[in-house]
Structure 1
Amino acid sequence: MGENYKLTYFNVKAVGEPIRLIFAYAGVKYEDNRVEHADWPEMKSIGDKTLGQSNAICRYLGKKFNLDGDNDWENAKIDEFADAVADFRMAWARTFKEKDETRKAELLKDVLETVVPQVFGTLEATIVGNGGSPYLVGKKLTWIDLLTAHYLDFFENLHPGVLIKYPNLIKLKTVVYQTEQIKEWCEKRPVTNM
């Protein structure tokens, strides 16, 4: 009998969406258990295995569904890029959470002028150096491509034009969101504000 998967996360895309993209791409059925923030403290583990942290879940599912690298080096590079995307996400999250509008503007300016060129520039150069592949690592789609495409899409929706200097990141995002499984998921997923 196959494994039964259940993703319990808030009713937003955020860090849960890359996991949903992996399930969609792999064609694996799972329970998409969306909870409200007020209900979170009452949530309990169900079953004998529970895994927290979105990147750990992505890594586990990537290996399960052949969305990982072809060797240890490729998997190390995937982890490197996952950490870079997490650095970007955390820098942006500080702007989102900031209440003081002046400080928020300063933080956003730093993200757009420093963090984006640093992280997106590194990812862009990686794809350029990947021998014509549209992916970050190797010649096949991996979980890091799904995770990265999600955050690129999310951030570009908030800041239109932010990817204009990164044509290979635009191509990566397009390749991911044009795969049949991902298109189907995007058409049927619940509409959320984030």
Structure 2
Amino acid sequence: MAPKYKLTYFNLRGLGEPIRFLFHYGGIAFEDNRIEFADWPKVKDSTPFGKLPVLEVDGKPFPQGASIARYVAKQVGLAGKDDLEALEIDSVVDTLVDLRLALAGFYFESDEAVKQKKKDIALKETVPSMLSKLDARVKENGGYFVGGKLTWADVYFSAIHATFNHFMGENAIAKYPNLKAIVDKVEEIPAIKAWIEKRPVTDL
């Protein structure tokens, strides 16, 4: 019998969307449990580490967005053909996680002076360096991040890039044609395209 999945995340795309993309890609049924921010204080203590997303597998909760996405990727055949390829994929995803943290670091900063300093470093140094290297990697790998074929790194990036745009206040991949091509390819996968067309409309 197939496991019963329940994904709990806020009512937005953010860190939940890569997981939703992967579930839909694989045609795996799951409960998309969305929490409003006003209700979060009542829910927080019931999560393993006081953070979302959380995936319940037959009632057992598991935290950490990238770890959950990796698990689902294994279920849908996008986690690599062997351990070395899986390592390559993980390294790309961890880089994307680092990039998101760099952007979130200034976006959520309350001290305006500190915020501007963090923003300057992120937008002038961190983002261009990481995105240019990722773009080159895609070009060298036949239009994908790893192995010249679709993996969960491509799906993860396609789902999370909108968060980068939101934090930056601009199109993060406008200058990176190979990264843009990945997003276009993933969003045209029939199951993911169908999800995008019907998903709840949120600001982020």
Normalising by the residue count of structure 1, what TM-score does the alignment of the two structures yield? Answer: 0.90
Provide the alpha-carbon RMSD of the alignment.
Answer: 1.8
Question: Is 1:39 the counterpart of 2:42 in the alignment?
Answer: yes
Amino acid corresponding to residue 128 of structure 2 in structure 1: P
Deviation at 1:48, TM superposition (A): 5.1
Deviation at 1:44, TM superposition (A): 5.7
Q: Give runs of aligned pairs for residues 140-179 of structure 1, distance below 5 A.
A: 140-156=149-165, 158-179=168-189
In 2: Cα distance, 1:25 partner to 1:175 partner: 13
Amino acid corresponding to residue 127 of structure 1 in structure 2: V
**1:158-179 CA-partner distances (Å, limit 9, x unpaired):** 5334323211001011111121
Q: Give runs of aligned pairs for residues 67-82 of structure 1, distance below 5 A.
A: 67-82=78-93
In 2: Cα distance, 1:161 partner to 1:33 partner: 29
In 1: Cα distance, 2:153 partner to 2:139 partner: 16
Quick one: which of 190, 193, 198 aligns to 1:188?
198
Question: Is 1:66 the counterpart of 2:77 in the alignment?
Answer: yes
Normalising by the residue count of structure 2, what TM-score does the alignment of the two structures yield? Answer: 0.86
Q: Give runs of aligned pairs for residues 91-170 of structure 1, distance below 5 A.
A: 91-130=102-141, 132=142, 134-156=143-165, 158-170=168-180
Kept in 1, the 8 Å contact 2:25–2:76? The answer is no
**1:172-191 CA-partner distances (Å, limit 9, x unpaired):** 11111121111111111112
In 2: Cα distance, 1:164 partner to 1:35 partner: 32
Partner of 1:10: 10
Matched-pair identity in %: 38
In 1: Cα distance, 2:129 partner to 2:160 partner: 15
Report runs of 4+ in structure 1 exceeding 6 Å deviation: none
Kept in 2, the 8 Å contact 1:7–1:33? The answer is yes
Partner of 2:53: none
Deviation at 1:147, TM superposition (A): 1.0
Segments of 5+ residues of structure 2 without an aligned counterpart are 49-55
In 2: Cα distance, 1:162 partner to 1:66 partner: 29
Deviation at 1:105, TM superposition (A): 2.5
In 1: Cα distance, 2:46 partner to 2:81 partner: 36
Kept in 2, the 8 Å contact 1:23–1:29? The answer is yes
Amino acid corresponding to residue 125 of structure 1 in structure 2: A
Kept in 1, the 8 Å contact 2:25–2:191? The answer is yes
In 1: Cα distance, 2:47 partner to 2:160 partner: 28
In 2: Cα distance, 1:48 partner to 1:23 partner: 17
Segments of 5+ residues of structure 1 without an aligned counterpart are none
What SS does structure 2 have at the residue aligned with 1:9? strand
In 2: Cα distance, 1:120 partner to 1:62 partner: 23
Deviation at 1:84, TM superposition (A): 0.5
What SS does structure 1 have at the residue aligned with 2:33? strand
Question: Is 1:23 the counterpart of 2:23 in the alignment?
Answer: yes
Q: Count residues with an aligned counterpart.
A: 192
What SS does structure 1 have at the residue aligned with 2:2? coil
